[in-house]
Amino acid sequence: MTDHQSLPRAEFGFPGPLRDRLVAAVLSGAKTTTTSLAVGYRVAGEPLPQVGGRSVLVDSAERPLAVLETVEVRVLPLGHVELAHAVDEGEGHATLAAWRADHEAFWHSPELRASLGDPEFTVDDGTEVVTERFRVERRL
């Protein structure tokens, strides 16, 4: 077993076009941050990311592509996410409103709501999110 096989997986979005776009943005260097729902970690029974933690970036075909290292983690209300973080997500958002609209569409999707076990889940300014900054440690 190579060392990366024992690491947790870094999965952006659900398998499909969105994940593949996000993975490409990570590999190009455009995407260096991500935002997750804190409740998602609680529902999955997973610990929050930790500074210095490493994970394996996978694409929609579950192929390991790179090892990522977490360099910053914050838990804050959604309404406190800054524009710099949103821009560093590498999805082309020039405003917080555009970033938030895209994220709300994902967080309110049937797929995400099903993963949380709450078909009516919604977010607001007070919803706890986990913002993470990472770097590509190495490509696989």
Q: What is the tens place of the pLDDT at every residue in 50-85? A: 999 999 999 999 999 999 999 999 999 999 999 999
pTM of the predicted protein model: 0.89
Residues 91 and 33 sit within 8 Å (Cβ to Cβ) = no
Torsion of CA 129, 89, 49, 12, to 10 degrees: 100
Supply the pLDDT for residue 2: 56
Q: What is the mean pLDDT of residues 86-93?
A: 93
Q: Could you write out the DSSP letters of every residue in 24-36?
A: HHHHHTS--EEEE
Indicate which CATH number applies to the domain containing 55: 3.10.400.10
Q: What is the mean pLDDT of the chain?
A: 93
Task: Name the residue range of residue 56's domain.
Answer: 3-139
pLDDT the model gives residue 25: 94
Tokens of 97: 């409103």
The predicted-structure confidence for 25-52, as pLDDT tens digits, reads as follows 999 999 999 999 999 999 999 999 999 9
What is the total count of domains within the chain?
A: 1
Beta carbons of 38 and 75 less than 8 angstroms apart? yes
**Contact call for residues 47 and 56 (beta carbons, < 8 A):** no
Task: Compute the distance between CA of residue 72 and CA of residue 74 in angstroms, rounded to an integer.
Answer: 7
Mean pLDDT of all residues in 120-124: 95
